[in-house]
């Protein structure tokens, strides 16, 4: 179960992690400005888990990376633009909504070709997870947080951090048990033999 979380930090190449890191660097500060750091973490984590779950359900090949969570940030920007269209300048509204759609369509469209190994299930799952999470949140730009909301967000952040710690411990335990020898690796991951044949 914990791989639904840890897969967000497993990347398949330097180029893979560089593209995802660049996307997070571009979109992350916007979401943090709109929703604050704790809600950014919640959007990122929920989108990443939903993307991982979609990948697990619909893709047979091994998959990893932060792109599901990254698409969640894109979904958050789309929803923020739609929810606040009346109060945003028209140019900003268009940039956050219709301006993002070609990027989303192009990247998901590329995923239908076998030339580039994109995980469309993770991307679409993350996009929907981030959009839905943002749909039920209030932006910090619209009204100040109440003391109750502040406390709740603090507990959410602590909970996410605790989950990340548990996942890191489980991941470390698996690494110790499964990566110490070829025999242990095969015992832990028997499906790898089928994939490589």
Catalytic residues, by residue number, are 67, 123
Cα(118)–Cα(114) distance, rounded to whole angstroms? 8
What is the 3 state secondary structure string of the chain? CCHHHHHHHCCCCHHHHHHHHHHHHHHHHHHHHHHCHHHHHHHHHHHHHHHHHHHHHHCCCCCCCCHHHHHHHHHHHHHHHHHCCCCCCHHHHHHHCCCCHHHHHHHHHHCCCCCCCCCHHHHHHHHHHHHHHHHCCCCCCCCCCCHHHHHHHHHHHHHHHHHHHHHHHHHHHHHHHHCCCHHHHHHHCCHHHHHHC
Residue of 93, 73, 76, 74 lying closest to 84 (CA atoms): 93
User: Which of left, alpha, beta for 129 (phi over 0: left; psi -120 to 50: alpha)?
Assistant: alpha
């Amino acid at each position: 179960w914990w791989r639904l979380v840890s897969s967000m930090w497993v990347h398949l190449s330097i180029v893979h992690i560089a593209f995802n890191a660049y996307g997070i660097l571009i979109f992350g500060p916007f979401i943090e400005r709109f929703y604050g750091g704790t809600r950014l973490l919640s959007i990122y984590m929920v989108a990443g888990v939903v993307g991982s779950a979609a990948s697990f359900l619909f893709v047979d090949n091994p998959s990893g990376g932060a792109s599901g969570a990254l698409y969640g940030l894109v979904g958050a920007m789309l929803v923020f633009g739609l929810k606040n269209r009346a109060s945003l300048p028209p140019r900003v509204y268009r940039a956050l909504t219709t301006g993002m759609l070609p990027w989303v369509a192009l990247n998901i469209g590329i995923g239908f070709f076998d030339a580039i190994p994109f995980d469309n299930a993770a991307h679409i799952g993350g996009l929907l997870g981030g959009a839905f999470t943002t749909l039920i949140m209030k932006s910090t730009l619209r009204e100040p947080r109440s003391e109750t909301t502040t406390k709740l967000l603090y507990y959410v952040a602590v909970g996410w951090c605790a989950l990340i710690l548990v996942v890191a411990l489980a991941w470390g335990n698996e690494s110790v048990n499964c990566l110490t020898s070829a025999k242990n690796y095969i015992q832990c991951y028997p499906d790898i033999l089928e994939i490589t044949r």
